[in-house]
Amino acid sequence: MPTDPPQVPALEELLAGAHVVSLPMRVRFRGIMERESLLLRGPAGWGEFCPFPEYGDAEASRWLAAAIEAAWEGFPAPLRSVIPVNATVPAVPAARVPEVLARFGRVDAVKVKVAERGQTLDDDIARVAAVREALPYAAIRVDANGGWDVPGAVEALTRLAGVGLEYAEQPVPTIDGLAEVRRQLQAAGTPVLIAADESVRKESDPLRVARAGAADLLVVKVAPLGGVRRALDIVERAGLPAVVSSALDTSVGIRAGLALAAALPELPYACGLGTVSLFESDITTDPLVSDDGAIRLRDAAADAGLLERYAASAERRDWWLARLRRVHALLAA
């Protein structure tokens, strides 16, 4: 059954526990080297509000709902305490792949970013091949973030299939396009499953991708879907296997992703919750990073010293607080 949204606290409550941070990245990811986030402390713990700056207030309102759930309501009871996670390889040159993988320790699955603007398919193939060389037995999935068109996706996935792909995440931007890529790959006997990410979290109707037969599995992220409970509801109603992933979160946001992964009835794939390893530092003294390919479920509390050390500039803090006020007004309306 659909879940009711959490009760929205007063703006003053949110502002009283708000901290804006800017964390340096080890490698460029989504075109940035600094990740900004607004952290909220509530009666149930910490929540993270970090929609990317280009997102509008209506879309960002789901991220705030997720942060409020985490900090004011808490999470559903877990079904498991250890969550398998994949390593994430950004769109780096193939020569840097071993360096990136080394930060994750032993892993059994790797997500590789592809279709980066300004790069070529040959760059993607070299990057994926470098991962396969480094980890001959790992499951490899690629994430195009909708960067290909249908012919380009079919060509790319046909060529990449030779490396052995677990699945391809959001190869094209539209649901109709996903369905067509999936149809063409199946018709050609190309063994690549299609996963929907943006076509779930950025759609007003996140179940449309399942009804259209456009994907073999869903990638679900807590913040863009409005919280753990809403994500659980979407997965249940979609009737497709799910992979839990993150939105380049601090450990506070990763904690919410772990809560979702821990509460799913089935967890057939390693989760994309290892992105704290892409940061130079985190905001907790006990970061939620992978240990031998998994993260043990535990809480994440922001450390006062780290919040101070990585506090955003006054100008950026004002920008985020203004955004919080606008988005709160939408949720409370």
Task: Indicate the Cα dihedral angle 231, 181, 111, 96, nearest 10°.
Answer: -150
Q: How far apart are the first and last CA of the chain?
A: 24
CA distance 257 to 292: 18
Is 111 among the residues known to form the active site?
no
CA distance 178 to 183: 8
Cα angle 305-310-311, degrees, rounded to a multiple of 5: 95
Using alpha carbons, select from 192, 176, 27 the residue that is nearest to residue 116.
27
Annotated ligand binding at 143? The verdict is yes
In order of 151, 178, 234, the CA distances from 212 in angstroms are 20, 9, 15
Please state, in angstroms and rounded to a whole number, the distance separating the CA atoms of residues 179 and 291.
36
Is 197 marked within a binding site? yes
In 161-250, where does DSSP find H-type helix?
175-188, 198-201, 208-211, 222-225, 228-238
202 counts as catalytic: no
Q: Which of 113, 127, 141, 255 is catalytic?
A: 113
Q: How many CB atoms lie within 10 A of CB 267?
A: 19
Torsion of CA 71, 1, 244, 204, to 10 degrees: -90
**99 annotated as belonging to a binding site for a ligand:** no
Q: Which two tokens stand for residue 304?
A: 């006062």
145: left (phi over 0), alpha (psi -120 to 50) or beta: left
Catalytic annotation, pick one of 62, 141, 221, 229: 221
Residue where the block lists tokens 């990317």: 52
Distance CA 270, CA 261 (A): 10
- The DSSP result for 198-214, as a single string, is HHHHTSSSTTHHHHTT-
**Catalytic machinery residues:** 113, 221
